[in-house]
Amino acid sequence: MYELEEKGYFYLLLVIPIMTVVFLYLLYWKRKKQREFGDLTLIEKLSPEKSTFKPILKFILISVGLVCLIIGLVNPRMGTKLETVKREGIDIVFAVDVSKSMLAEDVAPNRLEKSKQLVSQIINQLGSDRIGVIAYSGSAFPVLPITSDYSVAKMFLQTMNPGIVSSQGTSIDEAINLASTFIDKKDKTNKLLIIISDGEDHSDNAENAAEEAKKLGLKIITIGVGTEKGGPIPLKRNGVVESFQRDQNNDVVVTKRNSEVLKVIAKSTKGGYVDGNSTKEVLAYVKNALDNIEKTEFESTQMADFKSQFQWFLAFGFFFLFLDIFLLERKTNWVRKMNLFNEKK
């Protein structure tokens, strides 16, 4: 297993194709000028020691050397062993509403993107807790099972959109029921479900689902995104708004945040509700809630003892660049005798 410490340096690799284009153009330009100067065969006889292959070889060495140096700056780190470590924390399941109403832009950039930002910020302040992710609208979909890999969770989080769940609508009870399946009754780790939604629940079973979840020991925190005033649902193509969602009477649909539904769900499990429009308020509330939940010790297997490998790439990089200095562009006598590159006429 490996990880890349400074991935941003990979952008420097763009210099290689640029160098290649410039090098090929110079070869073409030189050839063109030689034709203008005189007969190519005569020019080659006037400079018998000049190799046509060596400049290409030198360019390859320089390119390989630069690639090695750039990879060295990225600093690949290799995991050398697996070890089981003991950690203390709780299991947190994030249920993100991905219904079409979450595309409303009454909060910037829109409710769904705001929800993703909130989840990402909450993950950033976690310690050794395990997390899972659920997407829901008319039905619920398990995006990521319980894991301690936060980077993978963030990656899956960014892929979430209304198209990830085929059934449209908003059924919070589906999310709660699915989150309940994440619970292992034999596992004594405390569980927390964080629901991020605008509260427009189209079913009447959310409170009952919350009551059942409470029996399993699942505590629920709800975060409401959107405004009480609400806003239309934009229909976009290539990022440009073409129209707005309309109902059966051809009236523009205005979706509003329903905080009361979210408060009732949270209260059913002795959890709490927080306004998701204020990131600072959400982070403070969730942190305080986590501090008041008893942590449980659990085992986690992970790759450990990562060692940096940059020195090997830097060494090879400098070797190829150093080799290029001593590689002259004239023909090599012993290679010339072997005629490997058809240099002997």
- Could you tell me whether strands 76-89 and 234-237 are parallel, antiparallel, or unpaired per DSSP bridges? unpaired
Given this model, what pLDDT does residue 50 score?
63
Residue 167 in contact with residue 137, Cβ under 8 Å?
A: yes
Residue 101 in contact with residue 111, Cβ under 8 Å?
A: yes
CA angle (281, 282, 285) in 5-degree steps: 85
Given this model, what pLDDT does residue 170 score?
73
| Amino acid at residue number 192 | L
Spatial separation of the C-alpha atoms in residues 160 and 146, rounded to whole Å: 17
Spatial separation of the C-alpha atoms in residues 69 and 319, rounded to whole Å: 10
Residue 225 in contact with residue 268, Cβ under 8 Å?
A: no
Spatial separation of the C-alpha atoms in residues 66 and 323, rounded to whole Å: 13
Band of residue 335 on the pLDDT scale cut at 50, 70, 90: very low
Band of residue 119 on the pLDDT scale cut at 50, 70, 90: very high
pLDDT (tens digit per residue) in 60-105: 989 999 999 999 998 887 766 656 666 678 889 999 999 888 999 9
Lowest mean pLDDT among 46-50, 83-87, 94-98, 258-262: 46-50
Burial class (CB in 10 A: 0-12, 13-18, 19+), 174: buried
pLDDT (tens digit per residue) in 281-314: 999 999 999 888 887 766 555 555 667 788 888 9
Spatial separation of the C-alpha atoms in residues 8 and 10, rounded to whole Å: 5
Residue 295 in contact with residue 36, Cβ under 8 Å?
A: no
Band of residue 114 on the pLDDT scale cut at 50, 70, 90: very high
Spatial separation of the C-alpha atoms in residues 140 and 143, rounded to whole Å: 9
The single residue listed with the structure tokens 């229909």 is 235
> In the structure encoding, which two tokens stand for residue 326, read together?
């001593």
Lowest mean pLDDT among 187-191, 200-204, 270-274: 200-204
Spatial separation of the C-alpha atoms in residues 309 and 332, rounded to whole Å: 35
Q: What is the mean pLDDT of the chain?
A: 82
- Mean pLDDT for the stretch of residues 121-125: 93
- How remote is the C-alpha of 306 from its chain's centroid? 21
Spatial separation of the C-alpha atoms in residues 294 and 291, rounded to whole Å: 8
Given this model, what pLDDT does residue 76 score?
84
**Could you give the percent of the chain with pLDDT greater than 90?**
28
pLDDT at 275 exceeding the cut of 90? yes
Residue 93 in contact with residue 131, Cβ under 8 Å?
A: yes
The segment with the largest mean pLDDT, out of 26-40, 120-134, 167-181, 197-211, is: 120-134
Lowest mean pLDDT among 85-89, 241-245, 273-277: 85-89
Q: Does domain 86-300 have CATH number 3.40.50.410?
A: yes
Q: Give residue limits of the domains in the chain.
A: 2-75+309-338, 86-300
pLDDT at 223 exceeding the cut of 80? yes
Spatial separation of the C-alpha atoms in residues 81 and 193, rounded to whole Å: 33
Judge if pTM exceeds 0.75.
no
Spatial separation of the C-alpha atoms in residues 168 and 53, rounded to whole Å: 64
> In the structure encoding, which two tokens stand for residue 300, read together?
């986690």
Spatial separation of the C-alpha atoms in residues 273 and 223, rounded to whole Å: 6
- Mean pLDDT for the stretch of residues 202-225: 86
CA angle (288, 99, 111) in 5-degree steps: 50
Q: Nearest-CA neighbor of 175 among 90, 85, 98?
A: 98
- Mean pLDDT for the stretch of residues 105-130: 91
The number of helices, as runs of H, and strands, as runs of E, in the chain is 11, 13
Residue 132 in contact with residue 119, Cβ under 8 Å?
A: no
- Mean pLDDT for the stretch of residues 9-29: 90
| Amino acid at residue number 267 | K
Total residue count of the chain as it appears in this document: 345
